[in-house]
Structure 1
Amino acid sequence: MNKKIQIIISYMAIVLGAILASFSVACILLSNDAIDYGTAGIAIIISKLTGYNLSLCVLLVFLPFLIAGIFFLGKKFFVRVFIGFVVYTIGLAYFEKIPFELNTEHFLAVAFGGAILGIGLSLILRNGGCIDGSEIFANIIVNKIFNKTGKDYSISYILIGFNVIVYIAVFILINRDSAMLSFLVYVIATAIIDHFTDHFDAIKQVTIITKDPDAIIRQIKEELNKTCTILKSSGVIAGENKTLICYVNYFELQRMKTIISQNKGTFSTVSTIEEILR
C-alpha cells in the first residue's frame, strides 16, 4: 500500500509541476517577451512566427521526440512523460485564454516566471517525468554513445548546445531583447532545477550493498543495458556481502530505483559524479 501511495503522489507531483510550468509560460513569460527553452522554445518561436495556437505547436514539436523516446529508451518511461506532457499541453491551452498581468518590470516578471518554471520542472524531473524533447534527445544520444563505446557521458553539454541554437534562433527571428530575457529564464530555471534535483544532467553513481547481487545485476543488464563493478565487502552486523557500483543518467536512475525496490535486503546510495576519468 505504501508503494501505491508513493506512485500516486509522484503522479500528482508531475501533474502539479506541469500546471506550474504551463502557467509560467502562458501567463508570465510570453506576456513579457520571454520564451521557454528546449523544444518548448522551438514551439513558441513557430507560434510567434506563424500565429498558430501555442499548445498545437508544442504538441507537433514534442510528438516526434516522444515517439523516438519510446523507440530508443523503452516503454517504461512513457507513462510519466505522457502524463506530464498532456497536462502541460492542456495547461497551455487553458492559460492562454486567461487574462493575467504582473504590474512590474519585465526583468522582475521574467525572473519570477523563470522561478515558477524551475519549480514546476523540478517536480516533474524528481518524479521521473519529462515535458521537453531536448532531454529525450540528449538521452538518446548519450545511450547511443554508450552502446557503441561503453562510455558514460553527461547530457549537460548536449542540452547546452541544443538551447544555444534555440536562443540564436530567438535572436535572429524575433529580437535581441527577447533573446536576453529568455536566457535569463534559462539561468534561473536551471539553477532551481539543479538545486532540487542535484544536477539532473550529471552522471549518477549508484552504490548497492547486497548479499544476493545476481538478480540485480541481471535486471540492470536487461532493463538498462548497463554493467556493474562488483566489490567484496563486509558489514559488522550483516557479515560478508557484495557492493555493486553502477553509473546511470538521471532518467535511468528512476528505473534503477525500481529495480532496487524489487530486491529486498539491499542498501543503496546515489551520488553525483562531476567527471569520469579513463
Structure 2
Amino acid sequence: MKRTLLIFTGAVLAAVGIELFLVPNTIIDGGIVGISIILSHLTGIKLGLFLFLLNVPFFLFGYKQIGKTFALSTLFGVAVMSAATYFFGELGHVVTRDLLLAAVFGGIVLGVGVGMVIRFGGSLDGTEVLAIYISKRFPFSVGQVVMFFNLFILGSAGFVFDWNRAMYSLIAYFVAFKMIDITIEGFDETRSVWIISDKPSEIGQALLYRLGRGVTYLNGEGGYTGDDKKVIFCVVTRLEEAKLRTIVEEIDPDAFLAIGHVHDVRGGRFKKKDIH
C-alpha cells in the first residue's frame, strides 16, 4: 500500500509538471513524454491518450523482459499520470508564462515525480525499458541509449515549435534529470571509502572519534610487494567527505584513498556515533 501510494503521488506530480508548466509554454521533456507533447500539439488529441497508448507496447515488453512487479507498477504509474494530465488539462490552469520559470520549475516537479516512481519500483517512460534491453545486448549503457533518444526528441522540438522552445526544453530536461537523481539517492548522499595506509589504527580511531563513523578493517596484500596491508572501509555522507580527507591527510599524507558513490545503505551500524 505504501509503494502504491507513493507511485500514485509521483505520477500525479509528474502530471503537474507536464500539464501546468511545460505544455502551456510548448516546452517538452525527453522520452515518451516529449513525443506525446509533440503529437498532441500536431493533432489536437488529448495528451493523456498519447502518454498511455505509446507506453503500452513498452509495458508489454517490460512484462516479458524485466518482470511482473516492475511492469505492473509501470502500468499503474502511467495510467495515473495519463488520467492526471487529462484532469489538469481540463482545468486549463497555467502556473506561469515565463519560459525560464516554466522550464526550471516544470523540470523540478516532473523530476521529483518521476524519481518517486522509479525509487519505488516503477517507471513513467517506456524508452527506459527499451534502453535496459538494448544495453544488455549492445556495448552501450542505459544512460547512453536514453540520451540518444532524448537528443533526437528534443531536437525535434526545434522543427515543430521553434529553436528557442527547443533550448528551453533542454533546460527542463536537464533539471528533471538532476531532480530524478536527487529524489532517488536523497540530498544526503552517501560515499563508500577505502583507505590503505601504514597507520591504519590511527586513521581508524580518528574517524571514529573525530568524525563519529565506525570503520571496518579488511586484510589485504600488496600486489607488487606482497606485503600484508590493512584496508580501512567506512561509509560517510557527502558533507563529511571533506573532513574525512583532511583527517587522512593529517595522519598519513601518502595514504591511498578511494571514494565511491553509494545508492543505498541499510542495516549495520551506519547511525552516527555521538562525538563528545
Distance 2:30 2:85 in 1: 15
Any idea what the Cα deviations from partners look like across 1:111-145, whole Å, max 9, x if unmatched?
11111111111111110110101111101112334
**1:181-217 deviation digits (Å, cap 9, x = unpaired):** 1111101011111223249xxxxx9xxxxxxxxxxxx
Q: 1:103 to 1:157 in 2, by over 3 A?
A: closer
In structure 1, the residue matched to 2:90 is: 97
Residue 176 of structure 1: which of 157, 163, 167 is its match? 163
Query: Would the aligned equivalents of 2:29 and 2:154 in 1 still touch at CA under 8 Å?
Result: no
Counterparts in 2 of 1:90 and 1:104: CA distance versus 1, 3 Å? closer
Paired residue for 2:44?
Answer: 51
**Which consecutive residues of structure 1, in runs of 5 or more, have no partner in the other structure?**
1-7, 146-150, 200-204, 206-232, 235-269, 273-278
2:30 is aligned with 1:37: yes
CA RMSD of aligned residues (A): 2.2
The alignment of Structure 1 onto Structure 2 pairs a total of residues equal to 192
CA distance in 2, matches of 1:181, 1:79: 33
**Runs (5+) with no aligned partner, structure 2:** 187-191, 193-217, 220-260, 264-276
Inter-CA distance 103–65: structure 2 relative to 1 (3 Å threshold): closer
Given candidates 54, 74, 80, the residue that maps to 1:81 is 74
Letter in 2 for 1:68: F
Match of residue 27, structure 1, among 15, 20, 29? 20
Shift of 1:271: 3.4
Residue type matched to 1:71 in 2? K
The TM-score normalised by the length of structure 2 is 0.65
Structure of larger gyration radius: 2
How does the TM-score come out when normalised to structure 1?
0.64
Identity level (%):
29
- Give the distance between the partners of 1:98 and 1:104, measured in 2 at CA: 16
Match of 1:225 in 2: none
| Closer/same/farther in 2, CA of residues 108 and 57 from structure 1, 3 Å limit | same
Report SS of the residue matched to 2:133: helix
Q: Is the 8 A contact 1:27 1:98 kept in 2?
A: no
Deviation per residue, 1:66-101 (Å, 9 max, x gap) = 111112223232221111111011111111101322
Q: Which residue of 1 aligns with 2:56?
A: 63
Structure 1's consecutive aligned runs of 4 or more residues displaced over 4 angstroms after TM superposition are none
Q: Which residue type is aligned with residue 99 of structure 1?
A: G
Question: Equivalents in 2 of 1:101, 1:60: separation in Å?
Answer: 25
Matched residues in 1 for 2:157 and 2:101: separation?
20
